[in-house]
Amino acid sequence: MKLILLGTGAGRPTLERNVTSIALQFPERRNRFWLFDAGEGTQHQLLGRKELKLSKLEAVFITHLHGDHLYGLPGLLTSRSFIEGAGKLTVYGPAGISAYLEGIFAASEVRLDYELEIVELEDERTELDAGFCRIVAMELDHRIRCLGYRIVESPRCGALDTEKLARLGLPPGPEYGLLKRGESVTLADGTTVRPGDVLADPTPGATVTILGDTAPCGNAFELGREADLLVHEATFAAGLEEKAAAYGHSTIAQACGIALKSEAKRLVVTHFSARYAKEDVRRMVEEARSIFPEVYAAHDGAEFDVRTGFINN
């Protein structure tokens, strides 16, 4: 899985940062991807990313209904009608997302040329099964109802023991694919080769946690538990905890505290207040590494491999 930060600012866009949107891309699934939030201008951010084609967008997960996380969604969904090959798309979000979109589409007389499904997540905790991964959504602590999402890949098939297969007389070919899919193969001499005979143990899938706006809370810790990559807001600098609490946000120190407590491997902080320039954020992160060493500042266009960290910075 690859994480691409499309917007990393809070509240309103600046010359350096657009408002919130994150793409989660699945290169092994022909670069299909999901969006987490879609602040104003998100489709403009996508225009410069050839690997993020709207025809390959399968789902949008909205954390909450504040405008800096939502106002770009109607335009993006409408533009997708002009993209050849755009299939069904599902939008997940808190109660109210359906009325929001349907109201705008009705007022604008929008007619989409693809199937749009809207799923409102009303429970404190919801689990979704996407086949190749599992998604857990839980409520966070913000001024309005807000969700965080934990995406857990299914275990990966173990590697084939090619030397053993060669000794058995099975050269590379379609049978290798059958074995990796869990199917047995019969050789010419009648010998049956079972997947368990030639496959290493499965490896755990990667886990990425993407949180919406939140003050420190138990569900943020639960969603981030042992994640390979945790994305947490850091609207304010350390020392402004009282101000952060008043608005339902976190400081960078509090985000690092959640990552430390949850034993996440890496932390990406984002959603920076417009008061902070790039140099301010750099200094904030350097200071925060005394709390959690593997913390990195997001910026528009940054890419992360969920397992290994930065691709570019």
Tens-digit pLDDT profile for residues 233-277 = 999 999 999 999 999 999 999 999 999 999 999 999 999 999 999
Q: Which pLDDT score, from 0 to 100, does residue 132 have?
A: 93
Please report, as a single letter, which amino acid is at residue 125.
Answer: R
Query: What pLDDT was estimated at residue 171?
Result: 86
Residue 204's CB is within 10 A of a number of other CB atoms, namely 11
Query: Tokens at residue 243, please?
Result: 């101000």
Q: What pLDDT does 94 receive?
A: 98
- Tokens 């930065």: give the residue: 310
Catalytic residue list: 68
| Residue ranges of the chain assigned to CATH 3.60.15.10 | 2-156+203-312
**Please, what is the end-to-end C-alpha distance for the chain in angstroms?**
17
In 3-state terms, what secondary structure has residue 137? strand
For the domain bounded by 2-156+203-312, which CATH number is listed? 3.60.15.10
- Digit-coded pLDDT (tens) for 136-147: 999 999 999 999
Q: Which helix (H) or strand (E) holds 91?
A: strand 89-93
Amino acid at 285: V
HSE-up of residue 23 (Cα within 13 Å, Cβ side)? 28
- The annotation status of 142 as a binding-site residue, yes or no, is yes
What mean pLDDT comes out for the span 2-27?
97
pLDDT in tens, 88-108: 999 999 999 999 999 999 999
313 pLDDT more than 70: no
Dist CA 24 CA 27 (whole Å): 10
Tell me what the mean pLDDT of segment 285-299 comes to.
97
Q: What is the pTM of this model?
A: 0.90
HSE (side-chain half, CA atoms, 13 Å) at 231:
37
By DSSP bridging, strand 32-36 and strand 21-26 are antiparallel
pLDDT band at 11 (very low <50, low <70, confident <90, very high): very high
- What is the tens place of the pLDDT at every residue in 28-82? 899 999 999 999 999 999 998 888 999 999 999 999 999 999 999 999 999 999 9
Q: Is 271 annotated as a binding residue?
A: yes
Q: Looking at residues 215-243, what average pLDDT do you find?
A: 98
Q: How far apart are CA 20 and CA 42, in angstroms?
A: 8
Closest CA to 206 of 178, 187, 229: 229
**Residue 232 assigned ligand-binding role:** no
Distance CA 299, CA 285 (A): 12
